[in-house]
Structure 1
Amino acid sequence: MSTEYVIREVLLGITICFAQIPESVAFAFMANIKPPIALHAAWIVGFICSAFGGRPGMVNGATGAFAAIVGTFIPPAGTGNNGEGVELLFPSVMLAGLLMVLVSVTKLSRFITLLPSPVMLGFCNGLAIVIGLSQLHPFEDHETHHWKEGSEMMWMLIICFTAMIIMECLPKLPFRIFKVIPSSLLAIISAIVLEFAVVRNVGSRTATIRDVSEFTLDTAFPIPFFISTEAVSYDLSSILTANGISKIVIQGIFLCLVGSIESLMTAEVVESFTKEPGDGNRTVLAMGGANLLSGFLGGMGGNAMIGLSTVNCLNGGKGRLGPCVTALGIMACVMGAYPLLNFIPVAALAGIMLVVVFHTFKWFTIPMILAAFLPRSLRNKLSLQRKVPRIDAIVIIIVTILCKWPAGTNIAVAVGVGVAICSMSYAWNSADTFEVIVSEEDGMKTYFIHGPFFFTSANRFLKMLNADTDPDQVEVVFSEATSLFDYSAMQAMNKISAEYKSKGKQILFKSLCSKSTKLLMKAQHLMSETEYTERDMEVTDLKGVEYGLGDLPQGGELGDALEKFGVPRSGSKQSTMVNHDDLTVVVGNEVDCLKAPTKSVSRMAKKSPGCIMVCPCTGGV
């Protein structure tokens, strides 16, 4: 660990700390809870995830995604106050943490990364809209539910726009100081000066954090949520009611889903900067532990912050030290410098978050969606070339809308609906790629099938075969691109086999891949009528052999065979040959051929039947 690395990480950590504090306070208002609940979550989640997570360089804390979910369960009670039912939040966060641990242990986090791009884009757009609309609440009179008027409204707008201009414009000026000092900190300082040096000197005033939810010594330190103090007290009687338990479970599931999605999305963004692979399961595991502790200590929980993580990476942050310094800095501010936080104008927080919204929304999706629905002639006139399939555009729109509307929906529901639509679209399109080619020769009829074989193509397959008119001998040959995916396909095979047998005919399914035969073997008691053969072992799934790095393949048909026949897993500079019955596997491990994936793979059927040779990339067979 070099001195330069430590200095860079510490400075970045301090910088991001001052950027994260106003965001966390704004997210507290958005979630209809008091700011200390979000700030304590910010440093607890931030430190644990940064120190023990699977993605160095990633900033964690209280986020808009968490706040968006929490805000749908806690009704507003005026900016800076806890809404009704806030006591259910903490068990929900703990449940979300427990679910995250289970997701990590069962390695289910890999499925979260498989979310379609249209769903991700809709997620970002919907989150931006939810955050943006929540920034309008400080401009409302919570007693009359009308917009504020007069000089107060005018000064709030001035402070808000001033903060926005500073946030957006100062970093673009060619002065190093504006690249070192976070623009959000400059915006906050400018807003405080404007409020107390100008606004109050002309006989007016706008609301500050002190006015809506004052930081005090009583809220400076986190305590378990079930312990009551003079400053913090919750009605825990509703937790064990049927309604309370149902809300805890639902909210916990939503928080787990949204937190995992945003964290793994952020991990991919960070990986694109650092070019170093992360550990998704470890990321979710650390986040689960962090949320367990955060909920226990009365925090709102959190996950990775995609915006601040990007800022960290753009400025050279790649390690754990910087985000850890950020978390410790927030802790120090909350516990020691909390009186200073009370001077921040609420309108300045709204301005900062509106800039965050501007950069969160994926603006390129607007012309992309328009191009998907406009005719070609109009697209050419408007120079709209970013056309995507209409179903993808529809998914983006639906997910974006469902994040906020109608009432009762939220980001998690929107993601679920988007995934369901994409899945149905994939199933529909995959059915169209399923092809059957028929040939008949010497009393033998052969059906060559190509494409995914699952519930949408199973019915088409059944309709193409006719036991009444087919000859006595029928073969169904699976192509290399054909695999069994579900019980519907297996049931179709067994059903057609039984039908042929009832008419005294034989049907044989040939050239099934190893994954398909494993499915059939596991369901053997359900496939009593089906006769099938496995495809000869293929080696096209070999990804390459790298010297000294666990160089023999670890999966697929060749990998299974190598393990079965005892080929050692460690690399050596000599070729390895293993004989077993009629199978000979020869793997060449010369150093020169192990620098790149093996491309030259051949079954030497003519010279030695049953011999597989993995030969050097540049060498001949």
Structure 2
Amino acid sequence: MTNSSFLSPSRWLGDAPQIRRDVLAGIVVALALIPEAIGFSIIAGVDPRVGLYASVAIAMVIAFTGGRSGMISAATAAVAVLVGPLVREHGVEYLFAATLLMGVFQIVAGLVRLDLLMQFVSRSVITGFVNALAILIFMAQLPQLTGVGWETYAMVAGGLGIIYLFPRLTTAVPSPLVAILVLSALSIWLNLPVNTVGDMGKLPDGLPFFALPQVPLTLETLQIIAPYSLTMAAVGLLESLLTAQIVDDMTDTESDKRRECAGQGGANIVAGLFGGMGGCAMIGQSVINVTSGGRGRLSTFVAGAFLLFLLAVLGPWVGRIPMPALVAVMIMVSIGTFSWNSIPNLRRHPPTSSIVMVATVVVVVVTHDLSLGVLTGVLLSGIFFAGKVRRMFSVERTSDGDTGMVLYKVRGEIFFASVDRFTRAFQAEDGRPVTIDVSRAHFWDISGVGALDKIIARLRRDGSEVNVIGYNEASADIVDRFAMHDKTGFELGAVPH
């Protein structure tokens, strides 16, 4: 490959049609980001500009540093709910400092490959996460649909009609963008009595500027912000990696999740330096971007850059965008995000998988905490998996009537969940020689090794000569390191630890 082709804009931006799709998708996302960022600022107890500036900085930086093209990152509720106590007790400058440290933690997470933990998140957990988020997105629109006039409902219905019917005419322009523009024009022209973006909070009237957080550089400051930063970093990475997996599935492409971890860290550091709060990937805006045709990094960058343009140049006009138009877009996102196949699959899939999915949804919806829901799903998946493997185990006893020798053939996995059945499968042999064949078994942990010690000690105490044969290489290694039954100082009557 020549240097000229490597530096070619088409390598990074795509062909002309994709550039157009990315730009238009980014514009749609920017418009949808405004009320979200303002709402998240209110949750965190800070000025709206803190959330808006964070969204600008994070989106523009992650376009270059992230590992998942086409995914949108900005200020999010998942992070905003964590920082309220910090802002109330110590002020917004400590929030900026915590955001910087959050970014450092995320860069470290990328370096030590914490992204590999995603391998332990089952498909049932991801489906539950997606469904719960779709429900939360819809629930977040309800305040805009209660205590309002018929005009609001008519505009939402009209917006949904445009969103779903306009693509039948043409897909050259994203239908959500058409819905926002048409409904905004009608609202302004007819002066309709509906809520607007300006009603959500005061929009900033200037550009963000670089500034270090005005906090004392002391150990006490570190002790104050570190717990918040660590929690923000963990929640932000969890939501970002799950969202990256969802976008992978939607686009049938792969992402670099290690780079995404470090990229999120760099984006949050920049956000903290420009007066913003922490953020992470947003599944709602990512779905808007992908369904609007955005696939490349340009769409993410345009979302941040156009949001900055809107705030700096078109602020008064942005404030007049009717909320029903954005509500229609978010309802479309909610409908498109929910995995409708998961409902009939409740009967087709194994009961344990369905329980994990439903539990994840219920915990997230009840607590509004995505991390708690995912943690619940992962723990349940682990418990059900351990229970399943525990049942893949058997011990067969045979005896030779002539020699009196007893042979135990062990099959399956010996670990903490199966040691009880393992030990109970052996009986007193009244001094007869015993051979334990483990050639079709595998010892996974010290619990399994300890159980073997206990069995051998009990048999030898009864006068039996015990011989264990057939270790595979991995089992032999852990037994050699941790078993006590053939080591000096092992007492026949002792109960191994």
Q: Same fold (TM over 0.5)?
A: yes
What amino acid maps onto 1:121 in structure 2?
Answer: T
**Which 10-residue stretch deviates more, 291-300 or 14-23?**
291-300
Question: Does residue 33 of structure 2 align to residue 24 of structure 1?
Answer: yes
Q: 2:173 aligns with which of 164, 181, 197?
A: 181
Deviations 1:489-544 (CA, angstroms, capped at 9, x unpaired): 121122223333444544343333333333334xx2x422158xxxxxxxxxxxxx
Map 1:461-472; keep pairs closer than 5 Å: 461-469=422-430, 471-472=432-433
Partner residue in 2 for 1:10: 19
Deviations 1:42-88 (CA, angstroms, capped at 9, x unpaired): 34333333323334x3322227xx3245247659xxxxxx9999836
Tell me: CA distance 1:19–1:461, structure 2 relative to 1, closer, same or farther (3 Å).
same
Deviations 1:270-311 (CA, angstroms, capped at 9, x unpaired): 4x2x4xx54321222212222232234333444345566567
Partner residue in 2 for 1:256: 237
Q: Secondary structure at the match of 1:474?
A: strand
- Structure 2 CA distance, aligned partners of 1:312 and 1:351? 15
Partner residue in 1 for 2:203: 215
Q: Shift of residue 359 of structure 1? A: 1.0
Q: Shift of residue 268 of structure 1? A: 5.0
Map 1:443-522; keep pairs closer than 5 Å: 443-469=404-430, 471-479=432-440, 482-521=441-480
Deviations 1:465-497 (CA, angstroms, capped at 9, x unpaired): 234446324123231xx4322221121122223
Partner residue in 1 for 2:122: 116
**Count of residue pairs the alignment pairs up:** 466
What amino acid maps onto 2:55 in structure 1?
Answer: A
Tell me: CA distance 1:317–1:359, structure 2 relative to 1, closer, same or farther (3 Å).
closer
Structure 1, gaps ≥5 residues long: 76-81, 140-146, 229-238, 372-386, 532-621
Q: Secondary structure at the match of 1:512?
A: coil
Partner residue in 2 for 1:47: 60
Q: 8 Å contact 1:209–1:341 — kept in the other structure?
A: yes
What amino acid maps onto 1:46 in structure 2?
Answer: A
The CA RMSD measured in Å over matched residues stands at: 3.4
Partner residue in 2 for 1:608: none
Tell me: CA distance 1:465–1:325, structure 2 relative to 1, closer, same or farther (3 Å).
same
Q: 8 Å contact 2:79–2:278 — kept in the other structure?
A: no
Tell me: CA distance 1:438–1:90, structure 2 relative to 1, closer, same or farther (3 Å).
farther
Question: Does residue 360 of structure 2 align to residue 404 of structure 1?
Answer: no
Q: Secondary structure at the match of 1:298?
A: coil
Identity of aligned residues (%): 23
Deviations 1:79-135 (CA, angstroms, capped at 9, x unpaired): xxx999983654554444333323322222112233112211111111112221111
Partner residue in 1 for 2:353: 392
- Structure 2 CA distance, aligned partners of 1:253 and 1:83? 22
Q: Shift of residue 440 of structure 1? A: 3.4
Q: 8 Å contact 1:25–1:35 — kept in the other structure?
A: no
Q: Shift of residue 208 of structure 1? A: 2.0
- Structure 1 CA distance, aligned partners of 2:223 and 2:107? 25
Tell me: CA distance 1:498–1:329, structure 2 relative to 1, closer, same or farther (3 Å).
same
Partner residue in 2 for 1:551: none
Q: TM-score, normalised by structure 2?
A: 0.81
- Structure 2 CA distance, aligned partners of 1:169 and 1:506? 81
Q: Secondary structure at the match of 2:26?
A: helix
What amino acid maps onto 2:198 in structure 1?
Answer: R
Structure 2, gaps ≥5 residues long: 488-497
What amino acid maps onto 1:357 in structure 2?
Answer: S
Q: Shift of residue 413 of structure 1? A: 0.6
Q: Secondary structure at the match of 1:113?
A: helix
Tell me: CA distance 1:365–1:26, structure 2 relative to 1, closer, same or farther (3 Å).
farther
Tell me: CA distance 1:498–1:295, structure 2 relative to 1, closer, same or farther (3 Å).
farther
Map 1:210-609; keep pairs closer than 5 Å: 210-218=198-206, 220-224=207-211, 226=213, 249-270=230-251, 272=252, 274=253, 277-306=254-283, 319-369=296-346, 371=347, 387-406=348-367, 410-441=369-400, 442-469=403-430, 471-479=432-440, 482-521=441-480, 524=481, 526-530=482-486
Larger RCO (CA under 8 A, 6+ residues apart): 2
Q: Secondary structure at the match of 1:438?
A: strand
Q: Secondary structure at the match of 1:217?
A: coil
Q: 8 Å contact 2:429–2:464 — kept in the other structure?
A: no
- Structure 2 CA distance, aligned partners of 1:296 and 1:24? 20
Q: 8 Å contact 1:96–1:255 — kept in the other structure?
A: no
Q: Shift of residue 460 of structure 1? A: 0.7
Q: Shift of residue 346 of structure 1? A: 2.1
Partner residue in 2 for 1:67: 77
What amino acid maps onto 2:125 in structure 1?
Answer: V
**Which 10-residue stretch deviates more, 94-103 or 17-26?**
94-103
Q: Secondary structure at the match of 1:466?
A: coil
- Structure 1 CA distance, aligned partners of 2:15 and 2:381? 45
Partner residue in 2 for 1:136: 142
Partner residue in 1 for 2:107: 101
Q: Secondary structure at the match of 1:475?
A: strand
Q: Shift of residue 354 of structure 1? A: 1.3
Deviations 1:433-480 (CA, angstroms, capped at 9, x unpaired): 11122333454433222222111111111111234446324123231x
Tell me: CA distance 1:160–1:483, structure 2 relative to 1, closer, same or farther (3 Å).
same
Partner residue in 2 for 1:192: 184
Q: 8 Å contact 1:399–1:417 — kept in the other structure?
A: yes
- Structure 1 CA distance, aligned partners of 2:250 and 2:198? 37
Deviations 1:182-211 (CA, angstroms, capped at 9, x unpaired): 22221211121111111x2xxx53232233
- Structure 1 CA distance, aligned partners of 2:264 and 2:446? 36
Q: Secondary structure at the match of 1:450?
A: strand
Higher helix share: 2
- Structure 2 CA distance, aligned partners of 1:268 and 1:513? 38
- Structure 2 CA distance, aligned partners of 1:316 and 1:444? 73
- Structure 2 CA distance, aligned partners of 1:164 and 1:16? 17
Tell me: CA distance 1:131–1:467, structure 2 relative to 1, closer, same or farther (3 Å).
same
Q: Secondary structure at the match of 2:418?
A: helix
